[in-house]
Amino acid sequence: MSKDKSPKKIIDLNNYEDPTDLSPKNLELGLWLANHQKQIYKSLIIILALIAASFLLYSGYGYFYYFVFGQEQDKILEQDVSGLDLNNYRLQNKPIDLQIGQAKVITTNSGSDFVVKLKNPNDKQYANFDFCFNSGDKEACGSGFILPGEEKNQLLISTNIKTTNQTVQFTIKNIAWQKLKAGDIPDWNTYALQRLNFTISDPKFSTYVDNVNYLEFDITNNSAYSYFEVPLNITLNQGSEITALNRYVVSGLNSREKKSIRMSWPEATNLGGTITVKPELNIIDASIYKPYSIN
């Protein structure tokens, strides 16, 4: 049998129709990549090695420059810093002392109440402190706080001190100043208005069939925050003169909630005058706020 000597058929790739829609150019590129895989791998290694070498040279130059010139510059900088007047810097940033008014004692059936007006002239610093009222040889002490720019009456209620001495001295002890963190409270006025948004409605004295006199008023929490408790400082004034003091703690006042308060205050009933009810909340203290999940 003779061998088939018919010429071989030459296939033209340009005329090839691939069922996967791959073009001849894509086939040629794939074939080139397959044939030059080792060269491409070696090229990548060389490029990465050059990049690593350049970083090594740069860091080596940095170390060399520091050991030759940097140490001397550090010594010069230390000498310059040592020349700063740190005491002067501290004095310039020291909080301004609280402004303290005239302390007053008010005699009650059970003892004495004390009050003094305080003002914080610092608009970016607040303070926690201990304090004492001294009347003659008697002393009554407590603790308090004051917010940035706040003016308030510091009360000490229902002490068992009995005194006829109307001369009272007020002393602040262990005051701890803190500066507002701009990242947490960028605008103090807005921060305070959002949290101290309460309405006190129509405080008045009323007498019921038991012949007991009560102070009554409504308090509404207009803020978006709920509080475990809201302490209230209550003063009775005749003109600018404070004639009676009291304090009441509203328990569990939620956001948008309104509560009606009735409290016995026999010492103030027959005095007459203007009734002022003011919340005393340390709104910087996170522990006073109720979580949203608690009602």
pLDDT class of 265 with cuts at 50, 70, 90: confident
Alpha-carbon 21 to chain mean position: 64
| Model confidence pLDDT, tens digit, residues 149-182 | 999 999 999 888 777 677 899 999 999 999 999 8
Averaged pLDDT, 257-266: 91
Instruction: Tell me what the pLDDT averaged over the chain comes to.
Output: 85
d(CA 82, CA 86): 9
d(CA 184, CA 129): 23
User: Considering only CA atoms, which of 215, 271, 213, 280 is closest in space to residue 244?
Assistant: 271
pTM confidence score: 0.67
| Model confidence pLDDT, tens digit, residues 268-277 | 877 878 999 9
CB atoms within 10 A of CB 47: 10
Of the listed ranges 33-37, 238-242, 246-250, 273-277, the one predicted with least confidence: 33-37
pLDDT class of 234 with cuts at 50, 70, 90: very high
Q: Higher model confidence: residue 19 or residue 175?
A: 175
Q: Higher model confidence: residue 226 or residue 61?
A: 226
Per-residue pLDDT for 256 more than 60? yes
CATH fold, domain 188-288, is: Immunoglobulin-like (2.60.40)
| Model confidence pLDDT, tens digit, residues 124-149 | 999 999 999 998 888 999 999 999 99
Q: Higher model confidence: residue 270 or residue 192?
A: 192
Q: What is the structure's pLDDT at 280?
A: 97
Q: Higher model confidence: residue 211 or residue 11?
A: 211
Per-residue pLDDT for 5 more than 70? no
* Domain boundaries of the chain, sorted by first residue: 16-74, 99-179, 188-288
Averaged pLDDT, 209-223: 88
pLDDT class of 20 with cuts at 50, 70, 90: low
**Whole-Å CA distances, 226 to 178, 186, 188, 197, 199:** 25, 22, 19, 11, 15
Q: Which residues pair with 61 in a beta bridge?
A: none
φ, ψ at 287 (rounded to 5°): -75, -10
φ, ψ at 291 (rounded to 5°): -60, 155
Per-residue pLDDT for 18 more than 60? no
User: Considering only CA atoms, which of 162, 171, 145 is closest in space to residue 105?
Assistant: 162
Q: Give the rounded percent of residues in the chain with a pLDDT score beyond 90.
A: 52
Q: Which residues pair with 216 in a beta bridge?
A: 204, 262
Give me 147's structure tokens: 């917010």
Averaged pLDDT, 72-84: 66
d(CA 244, CA 157): 10
d(CA 164, CA 137): 11
User: E strands of 91-197, at which residues?
Assistant: 99-100, 104-107, 112-119, 125-135, 138-146, 151-159, 169-179
Task: Tell me which of 2.60.40.1110, 3.10.105.10, 3.30.1020.10, 2.60.40.10 is the CATH number of domain 99-179.
Answer: 2.60.40.10
Same fold for the pair 99-179 and 188-288: yes
